[in-house]
């Protein structure tokens, strides 16, 4: 069982909807990540938070908005998405800050479908 919990597991939304993906870890990890993964492709990094501050934004469109309310929680707010944004969204955490990664602990992912 993963120690990184993501909700919801599945989400279907229209292009005008606003929704959020949530991620939680209680391992005391200091870095948290959002990845996007399309079928048969590797995970693609979107954002990294290190000590609750955004440290990496991989040129992600503004319709994706991350938030780190505290060291255990990470949200991804979604607004005005496109059908091509449909993918598996993975949250991960690591013990050290970004740049001193060590192993990543991934959640099970949130399967997003944009209609």
Partner 1 sequence: SQKIEQNSEALNIQEGKTATLTCNYTNYSPAYLQWYRQDPGRGPVFLLLIRENEKEKRKERLKVTFDTTLKQSLFHITASQPADSATYLCALDMRRNTPLVFGKGTRLSVIA
Residues near partner 1 (CB under 8 A) are: 2, 4, 33, 41-43, 45, 48, 56, 88, 90, 92, 98-109, 111
Q: How far is the CB of 33 from partner 1 (least distance, A)?
A: 7
Instruction: List C-alpha distances in Å: 20 to 11, 42, 60, 94, 102.
Output: 9, 23, 16, 22, 28
Neighbours of 60 (CB within 10 A): 17
Q: How far is the CB of 90 from partner 1 (least distance, A)?
A: 5
Question: By C-beta, is 19 or 111 nearer to partner 1?
Answer: 111
Query: What is d(CA 93, CA 63) in angstroms, rounded to the nearest whole number?
Result: 23
Q: How far is the CB of 80 from partner 1 (least distance, A)?
A: 26
């Amino acid at each position: 069982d993963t120690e990184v919990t993501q909700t919801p597991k599945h989400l279907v939304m229209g292009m005008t909807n606003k929704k959020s993906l949530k991620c939680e870890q209680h391992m005391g990890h200091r870095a948290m990540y959002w990845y996007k993964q399309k079928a048969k492709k590797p995970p693609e990094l979107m954002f990294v938070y290190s000590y609750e501050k955004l440290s990496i934004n991989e040129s992600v469109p503004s319709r994706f908005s991350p938030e780190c309310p505290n060291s255990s929680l990470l949200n991804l707010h979604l607004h005005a998405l496109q059908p091509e944004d449909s993918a598996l969204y993975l949250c991960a955490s690591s013990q050290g800050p970004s740049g001193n990664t060590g192993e990543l602990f991934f959640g099970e992912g949130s399967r997003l479908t944009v209609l």
